[in-house]
Amino acid sequence: MPDTLFDVVIIGGGPGGYVAAIRAAQLGMKPALVERDKLGGVCLNWGCIPSKSLLKNAQIFNTFKHAGDFGITFDNLGFDFAKVMKRSRTVSNRIVKGVEFLMKKNKITLFEGSAAFEQKGAVTVSVKGKKPSTVGGKKFLLATGASPRKLPGLEIDGDNMIDSSGALGLKKLPPTMVIVGGGAIGVEFAYFWNAFGCKVTILEMMPHLLPVEDEEIATILQKSLIKSGIKVVTGARVLGTEISSDNVIVSYDRGKGTETAVGDKCLVAVGVTGNTAGLGLERIGVDVEKGFIKTGEHYQTSNPDVHAIGDVIGPPLLAHVASHEAIYAIEGIHDPDHPGRIDYDSIPGCTYCQPQVASIGLTEKAARERGHELKIGRYPFRALGKAIAAGETEGMVKLIFDARYGELLGAHIVGSEATEQIAELGMAKALEATYKEILGTVHAHPTLAEAVMEAAGDAYGEAIHL
């Protein structure tokens, strides 16, 4: 017999799980939340939040480097790397405390420990050195997240070979770094370290950095990073690493025989796999496929009493996807008539280096592959008043419309505030806006957002400032 019985027992306290718990409480359900480490999960503790904190420091430091253009003078520019890193921990801790407050405010019962299914209708929550509790639930929601993928030859030792958590815990700035993987995480750390003077080499297997982004946009970013001093090697299959006392030698092949990149340390950022081990999923008939849990129309697993959301169910592996899936899953448990799944064609994705990259919907290539006839509009920030006034003229907005009805299929931005600008296009996409509606929406002058309006115009030969 379980010690207690809840309407829903949520396993994992990241941006999927804790949001699910709050939404359940709002709907009058009695939720329990099980977390084995810290509330907030990877996102708040070792991902999105601390990394964005570091990137802000880097952005400010880079602004200093050309502050003379703005008539600002100073001497002896320098930095205190320990303080830079410490700020990111302070930021994380403050936000984690905020989540703890929300749990109390919403009267959510928290179980600290590792959960495992050992009997029907309950999980056992174990904390080392304590008596386990048995937590009963009418329904269960798995939100256990994901962990960096382990690749042979790229084993993490936490010293020379680090993953993103290790990178967020560095006490000193390494003089040189090799980054394996040119996705968002790799690119963000490259920008951060390079800003403070570290020599960075990125090795990416695909033909361009940020392989999931539109090629034209990713290429603009890639050129910018190269110009800033980062070495970028694409089409590079990593063969293995050799660790000496001083450094790491990473060997790779890009069709020219074996080459090597050398760094004081090597960051491995090559994707993740779902956290499914140790949960006893096999005992309750929850199927796992290629490292992720399979889910159906309402995020139910192969066991109808067990739902799953977030990174553990596979891509897109993003905190905001987990949070929205959480709300949908809980609303679906609460009300079987609830529309099942979020719209996976309207998910924004962001990379927070400078210039930033953000996108929603289909890339040009994907839109062509789906057979759409396209109208594509582009607007470069170098032509835009606000961008010139702010001295931030890198990048462009690229909008992809279906030629027939002018429906927005995809939006891609590289530029200084791309990650904020994408919100307008998220709204446009969610409301199925056409080019005409985007073009006709009065955009404030002077703003970067005017580039969105001009790009919509450009797709149909109606851009004013081009």
The residues near 291 (Cβ < 8 Å, ≥ 6 apart) are 273, 274, 276, 314
Q: Which is nearer to a second copy, 117 or 189 (CB)?
A: 189
Q: How far is CA 85 from CA 53, 58, 199, 258, in A?
A: 9, 11, 18, 36
45, two tokens? 């503790």
| Closest CB to a second copy among residues 215, 437 | 437
Residue 123: both structure tokens together: 């999980």
Q: Are strands 356-361 and 349-351 parallel, antiparallel or unpaired?
A: antiparallel
Smallest separation (angstroms) from a second copy to the CB of 235 = 29
- What is the rounded CA–CA span in Å between residue 52 and residue 353? 9
CB of 205 to a second copy, least distance (A): 25
Cβ of residue 335: shortest distance to a second copy, in angstroms?
A: 14
Of 313 and 438, which has the nearer Cβ to a second copy? Answer: 438
> What's the min distance (Å) between Cβ of 338 and a second copy?
12
Range 164-193, binding a second copy (CB under 8 A): none
- Show contacts with a second copy in window 22-41 (CB under 8 A): 22-23, 26
Q: Is 407 in the site for a second copy (CB under 8 A)?
A: no
Query: Under rule CB under 8 A, which residues in 300-339 are in contact with a second copy?
Result: 318-321, 323-324, 327
Question: What separation in angstroms does the CA of 15 have from each of 78, 254, 408, 455?
Answer: 36, 38, 29, 34
Binding mask 97-136 for a second copy (x = CB under 8 A): -x---x----------------------------------
User: Could you say whether residue 361 binds a second copy (CB under 8 A)?
Assistant: no
Residues within window 60-79 making contact with a second copy, judged by CB under 8 A: 60-61, 63-64, 67, 69-79
Count the residues in the chain. Answer: 466
CA–chain centroid gap for 160, Å, is 25
Give the tokens for residue 396: 């462009």
Q: Is the peptide bond before 304 cis (omega within 30 degrees of 0)?
A: no
In 3D, which of 228, 453, 178, 220 has the Cα closest to residue 351? Answer: 220
Q: Which of 103, 125, 286, 448 binds a second copy (CB under 8 A)?
A: 448
Packing angle, helices 450-459 and 418-430, rounded to 10: 50
358 binds a second copy (CB under 8 A): yes
Residue 1 touching a second copy (CB under 8 A): no
The active-site residue, picked from 208, 443, 445, 465, is 445
Binding mask 190-219 toward a second copy (x if CB under 8 A, else -) reads: ------------------------------
CA distance 74 to 58: 18
Determine the size of the site formed for a second copy (CB under 8 A).
97
State which residue, 60 or 127, has the beta carbon closest to a second copy.
60
Residue 244 found at the interface with a second copy (CB under 8 A): no
CB nearer a second copy, residue 165 or residue 303: 165
Which ranges of 352-434 would DSSP assign to H, the alpha helix?
A: 364-369, 385-390, 418-430
Q: In angstroms, rounded to a whole number, what is the distance separating the alpha carbons of residues 258 and 280?
A: 43
Closest distance between a second copy and the C-beta of residue 438, in Å?
7
Q: Give φ, ψ of 64 to 5 degrees.
A: -55, -40
Residues 418-447 that bind a second copy (CB under 8 A): 419-424, 426-428, 430-431, 433, 437-438, 440-447
Q: Which two tokens stand for residue 245?
A: 């006392």
CB 194 to a second copy: min, Å: 16
Beta-strand ranges (E) seen in 104-154 are: 109-112, 114-119, 122-126, 133-142, 146-148
Q: Does the annotation count 445 as an active-site position?
A: yes
Which of 4, 81, 132, 176 lies at the binding interface for a second copy (CB under 8 A)?
Answer: 81
Cα 69 to Cα 138, 141, 391, 427, distances in angstroms: 63, 54, 9, 36
Task: Find the shortest distance in angstroms from Cβ 393 to a second copy.
Answer: 10
**Is there binding between residue 43 and a second copy (CB under 8 A)?**
yes
> Which are the catalytic amino acids?
445
